[in-house]
Amino acid sequence: MWRKWFGLAALVTPLLDAHVVSMSTGELRMDGPTAVFELRIPMYEVPRVADPSRTLLDRIRFGDGHRTRASCREEDGTYDCRAEYEFPGIHPNALEVECSLFEVTVPNHVHLLTAIQGSNTDQLVFDRNFTEGEARFHPPSRAEVLVRDTGKGARRAFQNAGGILFLAALALAARSRREAVALAGFFLASEWLARPIGPRIPLAFTARFFDAALALTVAYLAVEILALPEGKSRSFIVAVLGLFHGLSLAAFPVLYQSGATVAQAVMIVPLAAAALWMPKTCTRPAAAVLGAVAVGWFVFRLWK
């Protein structure tokens, strides 16, 4: 069994390079018709251009605000930018925000913005799927926060092709209803286990790594179905592979991952029902197709 895991590690190792999970943070402090914005981003995420400060700050817009001055500097491996904005009027309730930092960093870049006005604070998360948001300067109700953040997490799960492909492979791996429930439980639990583990991993993951790693998890599970149709360690394998999927969610707030978990659980039900209803003679051909698609995706992302 350990030979299998050594092989998995050998395939994943070439995908590692000098990138951590791509993320930046920002803090916007509103004071009447003016505001101060501070952006913090790791140096290795800074675009290799003549004027990185302008390139980065131009990708973040605050409603009708006009940037009056800006300065950036490197400090302890972090690129810190401070910009001042003026607005034609006061925004006491809310402010529209646009962020497209993923266009000048890496496709999986996540920006976590904290907006502050007086005693009121709001937090927004931006990535390539969510480039617009509204910072609200009045305390949102718990219901509003719950619906907003879990909804975005669920939408992210439904748009994750690699995750859906793995759920299909997981459904094929289940040989009974009981095992389908067990595999789903192990997978979702291991995604949450990756949350505290992710910040402690001293390696850097690019968007290419995540795409290829997710494809590899599908291929590996497909091989397990084909080579060991009666294998007894399937739950353990699914749990380990789930850690890779969990790392892609570790940078998001808890409610985002909660929404993604709910969406995945919802998707697993019809997939597992279809796999169990399907004639057993079709399981291995279906697994072969999934494995071939995953390997093709892996090679494409590895060499692109």
Is 112:25 a contact under the CB 8 Å cutoff? yes
Number of folded domains that form the chain: 2
Q: Are residues 204 and 91 in the same domain?
A: no
- Residues 180-193 have a mean pLDDT of 94
Residue 110: which pLDDT band, with cuts at 50, 70 and 90?
confident
Q: Is 135 helix (H, G, I), strand (E, B) or coil?
A: strand
Residue 8 lies in a domain: no
Whether residue 157 has pLDDT greater than 70: yes
3-state SS track over 66-78: EEEEEEEEEECCE
Domain end call among 112, 140, 168: 140
Instruction: Give the pLDDT confidence score for residue 273 in this predicted structure.
Output: 94
Provide the sign of the torsion angle of the four alpha carbons 127, 25, 191, 150, taken in this order.
Answer: negative
Q: What is the pTM of this model?
A: 0.66
**pLDDT band per the 50, 70, 90 thresholds, residue 203:** low
Residue 296 lies in a domain: yes
* Residues in the chain, total: 304
**Phi and psi torsions of 278, nearest 5°:** -65, 140
Q: What strand order describes the sheet that includes 66-75? A: 66-75, 78-86, 34-42, 23-31, 110-117, 120-126
pLDDT for 79-94, tens place per residue? 999 999 999 999 888 9
* Residue 166 belongs to some domain of the structure: yes
CB atoms within 10 A of CB 296: 12
**98 and 223: one domain?**
no
Closest CA to 28 of 104, 105, 81, 71: 81
Percent of the chain's residues with pLDDT above 70? 89
Q: DSSP string spanning 75-100? A: ETTEEEEEEEEE-SS--SSEEEEEE-
pLDDT score of 205: 62
Looking at the fold, whether 170 and 281 belong to one and the same domain comes out as: yes
Range of the domain at 31: 23-140
d(CA 203, CA 97): 32
pLDDT in tens, 245-279: 888 788 788 998 999 999 999 999 999 999 999 99
Kindly state whether residues 38 and 134 are assigned to the same domain.
yes
Q: 125 with 187, same domain?
A: no
Encode pLDDT of 121-138 as tens digits. Answer: 888 999 888 899 999 887
